[in-house]
Structure 1
Amino acid sequence: MRKPFLDNLRYGIVLSVAVYHVFYQFNSVGIITNVLIPGIPALDAPLYVLYPWFMAALFMISGICARYSLEKQTGKQYLKGKVRRQLIPSIAIIFLIGWSTGWVTDQYANIFGGGQVPGFAKYLVWCMSGIGVLWFLHELLLCEVVLVLIRKLDKKDRLWQLGGKANFPVICLLVLGMWGSAYILNTPVIEVYRNGFYLFCFLAGYILFSHEQIQSLLAKWAPCMLAVSGVLAVVYTVHFWGQNYAALSNLKAPLTNLYAWFACLGVLGAGKRWLDKETAFTRCMASRSFGIYVLHNPLLVLLAWAMDKLLHFPVWSMYLLLPVLLALLLPPLIALIKRIPVLRTLILGEK
């Protein structure tokens, strides 16, 4: 079962991730980035607006799609496909491309402190420093493995059937589940791996939001949810302004999760209500969304380094030029990779 609004939401969120990373590279709240160029503090606002919810929504969409995929194939077949489409690219890109972002970081931060380090050891450190956005593929694969295990235990599909009985007040109250999940299974050092939170979002997509009647309910309430999330976005941004919005202490806050939940409801509902259509353009964007996601950050980091170190552009111009350059360079780069069989498999996960 293919629903155009899910493809449209996915590529829309992926584009927002690319825009987010432009502002992220120059953030003024103390989050370590690759290029370490002081930015314009007022332009941190998009970071606060996007960060609490956009990856959560992407996990929900993935959970919905997982339900539809598992209606047509076994758990073993499902995971086998994920190895090719997710696991192989998430590892190969680290060593083929990710090292370049680690190298850029080294140009600014002097990772090795001027010490004599063998070239291969440097390469490995650069690779590990260049994981970047690939964390999503690792986290998503973990969620998919857990889902297959749950399905083995729930052979009669009772969890999914229970999700279909939810009404709108119950859906709203599930914000408490999101808030609780923010405290569970967080990794101690690399805080981006919020295992409990993203597993909750993924399972919410699978159990709850994959039901047609739930999607219709969200579509009905979409204008209201967008209005609520808009107000919460302002309140959240004002409340946390100047703080590290990605710190776990802030991500566990009730306000953060309240905003994230209702923003996700609003986005899913808006997608069902207004974006459930397919055109040549949307098909093209949907086919490129994975490539845009995995390639935008290395390209962005290299462009920012070149504009700073080689061309000496002022930072304000980078905010304007980087999105334009990404829009111009990513499509031909993806098209080129698609024409090279080995790279097509290793980087894009395509046969």
Structure 2
Amino acid sequence: MTFDSRRHDIDALRFIVFSLLIVYHTAMLYLAGADFHMKSTYLTDTLNFPMVFINRWRMEIVFIISGLSCAMMTQSSRGAFLWRRVQRLLLPLAFGVLVIVPVQPYCEGVSNGLVAPGYGQFLLDYFGGRDWPAGAFTGWQHSFTWNHLWYLVYLLLYTIVLVALQPLLTRLRPLFTGLRGWRLLVVPALLPLAATVFLKLRYPENHALVKDWYAHAIYFTMYVYGWWLGNDRGMWQELARLRWHALMLAPCAFTVYIGFDLIYSENLLTWASAGSWPMRNLYMWLAICAILGWSHTWLNRPFAWLPWARQAVYPWYILHQSAIVLLAYWLVPLKLGPVIEPVLILAGTVAICWGCTSLLISKVNGLRLCFGLPARPGKNLAAGAAVSAA
């Protein structure tokens, strides 16, 4: 396990985790009882446990990876670092909200029977501040939505807070990086547990930025954990050493957590919460430790596909959910069957992301900037130098 100027394991893990979002959001079309922008007619409960298994750590590890990326870029002054991050995040966020995301509320609203067909007129109403019927689409109250791009909004906020608190967080860093053995597998789960106990029921996660204190407490903590972890050789060696322990303990914690949750929902304050909440957060952290430890062991090498993946991940993230919703809007009414339909939606989403990124975005400098890629005249995506995603 070597530490060089390019952390190949983080690059590879970033692409794998963001690719998992495509599978996860496609599966949301078919999960009975789940809240998503489109729903198939082929709903099932069989996806519930696999989805919970992934959902308890999927966004937490995304923010850890974001913190890791920031830790590897903070060699310049705080002001210069912040300006680079604002440039990296703000334009793709604005472009995504204005150009990529609107297809989602349109498809959702038409499918709900509360928006008239006709995308051009919808855009005029959408950006004109029309009062929409209640429940027309996610964000109807505000006449617009950022949907899955909430992550960029939160990441931008956390970056600003990190820069402001950097002197304090630097002094606190040894409390985290000094953890070894069982303490590394348990102690970091205590802060998310405290957030769960004091904030979860009072401030349910809403991705609306305001009054989302539970989500902020969890995700900012993970972001700081990633920043603290950074390129600390001792921590990474310890995560690799403990990878088998974490891999074996995580399913045990998940089983106990699900056992309590089956008695009473974790969203209700009952005696079962005393078991459910600690095991939920312990499982989350053990899963993350296992993923980080195994990825550092297996993925820290210059795979041939990494130069492409480093740059593809950001445009794929911005594009993927709009592609899923649009394909579902077209394909669900055709009733193609519970196998063909999800296969076509998943394959079509990958094809759209690949085609738009490799054949269009990578070749047009203006689009490269809008999707978070640097402008480099005359070079295509596959030939590009490494660039870290958000």
Deviation at 1:73, TM superposition (A): 1.3
Give 3-state SS (helix, strand or coil) of 1:259's partner. helix
Q: Which residue of 1 aligns with 2:225?
A: 204
Aligned-pair CA distance for 1:26? 2.1
Q: From the superposition, tell whether residues 127 and 337 of structure 1 become closer, same or farther in structure 2 (CA, over 3 Å).
A: farther
Q: 1:291 aligns with which of 288, 291, 315?
A: 315
* TM, length-normalised to structure 2: 0.79
Match among 116, 129, 144 for residue 159 of structure 2:
144
Q: Give the letter aligned to residue 108 of structure 2.
A: T
| Cα 1:111/1:80, change in 2 over 3 Å | farther
Matched, 1:280 2:304: yes
Structure 1 position 75, deviation (Å):
1.4
- The CA deviation string for residues 145-186 of structure 1, in whole angstroms up to 9 with x for no partner, is 1111112456xx322344332222322222112211335677
- Which residue pairs with 1:169 in the alignment? 182
Q: Which sections of structure 1, spanning at least 5 residues, go unmatched?
A: none
Matches within 5 A, 1:38-117: 38=41, 39-70=43-74, 72-111=75-114
Per-residue deviation, 1:104: 0.7
Is 1:322 matched up with 2:345? yes
Give, in angstroms, the shift of residue 121 of structure 1: 3.2
Map of 1:260 onto structure 2: 284
AA of the residue aligned to 2:181: F
The separation in 1 between residues aligned to 2:192 and 2:138, in whole angstroms, is: 33
Count of matched residue pairs: 342
Q: Which moved more, 1:59-68 or 1:159-168?
A: 159-168
Partner of 1:20: 24
- In structure 2, C-alpha distance between the alignment counterparts of 1:24 and 1:323, rounded to whole Å: 12
- Which one has the bigger helix percentage? 1
Q: How far did residue 127 of structure 1 move?
A: 9.1
Q: Percent of aligned positions with the same letter in both sequences?
A: 20
> What is the correspondence of 1:299-338 to structure 2 with a 5 Å cutoff?
299-309=323-333, 311-335=334-358, 336-338=360-362
In 2, are the aligned partners of 1:98 and 1:127 still within 8 Å (CA)? no
Q: Deviations over 1:241-268 (max 9, x none)?
A: 69988x6979x82222111111111111
Q: Which residue of 225, 234, 239 corresponds with 1:213? A: 234
Q: Distance in 1 between matches of 2:27 and 2:189?
A: 28
Change in 2 beyond 3 A, CA 1:243/1:25: farther
Whether contact under 8 Å (1:101, 1:130) holds in the other structure is no
Structure number with the bigger relative contact order (C-alpha 8 A, sep ≥ 6) is 1
TM-score (normalised: structure 1): 0.87
**Quick check: 2:29–2:38 contact (8 Å CA) kept in 1?**
yes
Q: After superposition, give the CA deviation of every residue in 1:184-219 in whole Å (9 maximum; x if it has no partner).
A: 677947624510110111111112454210111000
Structure 2 letter corresponding to 1:182: T
1:227 aligns with 2:248: yes
**Deviations 1:73-124 (CA, angstroms, capped at 9, x unpaired):** 111111111222212211221110111000011012234699xx98633345
Q: Name the CA distance, whole Å, in 2 between partners of 1:272 and 1:262.
A: 15
CA contact (8 A) 1:79 1:144 kept: yes
In 1, Cα distance between equivalents of 2:230 and 2:183: 13
Q: Is contact 2:192–2:217 with CA below 8 Å preserved after alignment?
A: no
Is the CA contact (8 Å cut-off) linking 1:18 and 1:297 kept in structure 2?
Answer: yes
Q: Alignment partner for residue 36 of structure 1, among 36, 39, 42? A: 39
Deviation per CA, 1:34-93: give whole Å up to 9, x if none.
1132412212333111111011011112112211211x2111111111222212211221
Match of 1:121 in 2: 125
Letter in 1 for 2:290: G
Q: 2:146 aligns with which of 104, 114, 131?
A: 131
